[in-house]
Amino acid sequence: GNNKAQGARGLRFTPVAPNTADAVTVPEGYRQNVVVRWGEPILRGAPAFDPENQTAAAQAGQFGYNVDFLALLPLKGERGRQVLVANHEYTDEILMFRDYDSENPTREQVEIAWAAHGLAAVVVEEDKKSGKLTPVTRHHLNRRLTVTSEFRLTGPVAGSDLVKTSADPTGRKVLGTLNNCAGGTTPWGTTLHAEENFNQYFANGSSATDKRYGVGTGASGRKWERFDQRFDLAREPNEVHRFGYVVELDPYDPDSTPRKRTALGRFKHEAATVRLTHDGRPVIYSGDDERFDYIYKFVGSKRMRHGNSRAAREHNLTLLDEGTLYVAKLTGDSPALEIDGTGKLPKDGEFDGSGQWIPLATATARGAVSHVEGMTAEEVFVFTRLAGDKVGATKMDRPEDVEPNPVTGKVYVALTNNSHRGVGSNPKADEANPRNANKHGHILELTERWNRPESTKFAWSLFLVAGDPQDPATYFAGFPKDSVSPISCPDNVAFDDHGNLWISTDGAALGSHDGLFGVATRGERRGELKQFLTVPRGAETCGPIIQDRRVLVAVQHPGEVDGASVDNPGSTWPDGPGTYVRPSVVAVWRADGQDIGV
Ligand code: FEO
Ligand code: CA
Ligand code: CA
Ligand code: CA
């Protein structure tokens, strides 16, 4: 069995070998089950999944498509149950609809896609005997939020002229959330959902800010603008300013309206993870996933209240509306000529240096103040990327998930890849992004001064430079490379209670499928990276959640390969040939019921 497997505590399992199986492959001695699939009914009255006769009304009561972020929250008084919260980042129409014509989608197809985006809350229950985790359908906390659900804008941008539209002259009420990628769970019992590539849903962008956010000038890929004019920026130029925020959801209150927290800025938010200051104020870390974009943090000015009283809960739901938004600038400590873009270590043996959090704007109850010359506070919070440009923030290799280690306080940033680094007139390699045409990505370790999350100065080093360990340009925190797993394109990250970092990948460029890896961040095994699972063809690995006895991952976009269709899917997971490929959530546990990796 796996009991004898070597490794740091929490990582004692036999690594899964890289492979291209159309399956979820787990270590020897571990078991798995599909917790919930795209299309499974979760709300009262929702019909069973019938993909040949799907309707928008059915989809709105069923689990949505492509899950990225996952959270599991405790559920008091219901033994063996937890609340699973999921982001439905986007839809793969070619795998959802037979004979889909991307030039001429039907209204029904578009409305189904609206209902398959958004968020889901679904109570899940553990079967003690089998170890399986299964949904509790029709639980009163189960919920779907879609592209047509109501959301509220709060914080410094709420009510601003920049977010008023003909349908919403108040600038406070938004329909829908789009492209929620990773996220976070707050210590006050809410979940955060980061709106990422919202640009792709809008047509006919024309402003300089649309361009900076990657909004196209013509028709959108999904043609939603034909069915709701708010997606046509020639008609509603401000609608796009209402997306690109961090959404806060209270999963314990199924009647609550989720809020878009504008004080955290507007960009392609990849994640939103929380650490508290010593006096109880929230600090939220977030990356902007674009080549040459930035790392941000928000430092709240109000203290969290403990306890579950109504007053405490209402107070805590205002924490993310007041505080200061910062962007990161990183400086290397080695001479620039030692960073030649090949990934060779500089003479001091490490890619490392110092950093600074540059304030962009502060939101208070009385109004907001800009710290950026030539931009108002409202402009900073809506056009945050431009503020980062102005203050000279460091252009990174696609910041994905950012996550503080709950054991040490150190913050880890997944920089997934950047094929454009050093190409043409683009910025060249620097110490924090040391490879030109960076195919495999790297992970940054950031230490806030005095280990205080509100510090404006920090130290940093590269924890991991990904790739095939035989490639001399890779680095695993100095651990001997003959016994680590190959890894490429780190994306979502999570921690277990031992302080081990778990990394899921998206777009691995080493010829094998994406997967989930664990690596020790402390002690003599620091840097020993081990692969825990692999996912089916075409999929990325998302989630992940590492509990004592269970690992959860979302298998996102299985079958998404060139030329795929319903009749010729790139994958037949999870239900086999002749079925629709279905993005799903998977649970993994030890057959003997012991804790993961001990
Ligand atoms: Fe949705 Fe940056 O991944
Ligand atoms: Ca150095
Ligand atoms: Ca991601
Ligand atoms: Ca991704």
The CA distance from 477 to 521, in Å, is: 9
Q: Which tokens in the block code for residue 130? A: 């089998």
Q: What is the pLDDT of residues 91-119, one digit of tens each?
A: 999 999 999 999 999 999 999 999 999 99
- Residue with CA at minimum distance from ligand 1 atom 3: 181
At 224 the three-state DSSP class reads: helix
Q: What is the pLDDT of residues 23-47, one digit of tens each?
A: 999 999 999 999 999 999 999 999 9
Contacts 24+ apart (CB under 8 A), 367-371: 367/156, 368/156
Residue keyed to tokens 């503080």:
404
pLDDT confidence of 2, banded at 50, 70, 90?
A: very low
> If we measure between CA atoms, which residue out of 503, 543, 508 comes closest to residue 35?
543
Q: CB atoms < 10 A from the CB of 60, how many?
A: 21
Q: What is the pLDDT of residues 314-360, one digit of tens each?
A: 999 999 999 999 999 999 999 999 999 999 999 999 999 999 999 99
> If we measure between CA atoms, which residue out of 113, 118, 67, 66 comes closest to residue 93?
113
Mean pLDDT computed over 150-175: 98
CA angle 100, 181, 397 (to 5 degrees): 110
Which residues, judged by CB distance below 6 Å to any ligand atom, belong to the binding site of ligand 1?
A: 68, 89, 181, 196, 270, 289, 400
pLDDT confidence of 265, banded at 50, 70, 90?
A: very high
- With a CB cutoff of 8 Å and minimum separation 6, the contacts of 513 are 18, 19, 20, 21, 534, 535, 536, 537, 539
Distance from the alpha carbon of residue 586 to the mean position of ligand 1, in angstroms? 19
- pLDDT of 1 reads 39
Tell me which ligand sits closest to the C-alpha of residue 503. Answer: 3
The CA distance from 510 to 487, in Å, is: 8
Distance from the alpha carbon of residue 413 to the mean position of ligand 4, in angstroms? 14
pLDDT confidence of 269, banded at 50, 70, 90?
A: very high
Query: How would you classify residue 467: left for phi > 0, otherwise alpha for psi between -120 and 50, otherwise beta?
Result: left
- pLDDT of 5 reads 78
Is the pTM here over 0.90, yes or no?
Answer: yes
Are residues 333 and 431 in contact, defined by beta-carbon separation less than 8 angstroms? yes
- pLDDT of 4 reads 52
The CA distance from 56 to 105, in Å, is: 14
The CA distance from 175 to 145, in Å, is: 10
Q: Specify the amino acid at residue 71.
A: A
Query: How would you classify residue 118: left for phi > 0, otherwise alpha for psi between -120 and 50, otherwise beta?
Result: left
- Residue with CA at minimum distance from ligand 1 atom 1: 181
| ipTM for the assembly | 0.93
Residue keyed to tokens 């998206």:
506
Q: Which tokens in the block code for residue 195? A: 């709106």
Q: What is the pLDDT of residues 466-484, one digit of tens each?
A: 999 999 999 999 999 999 9
- pLDDT of 243 reads 99
The CA distance from 557 to 334, in Å, is: 41
Distance from the alpha carbon of residue 350 to the mean position of ligand 2, in angstroms? 5
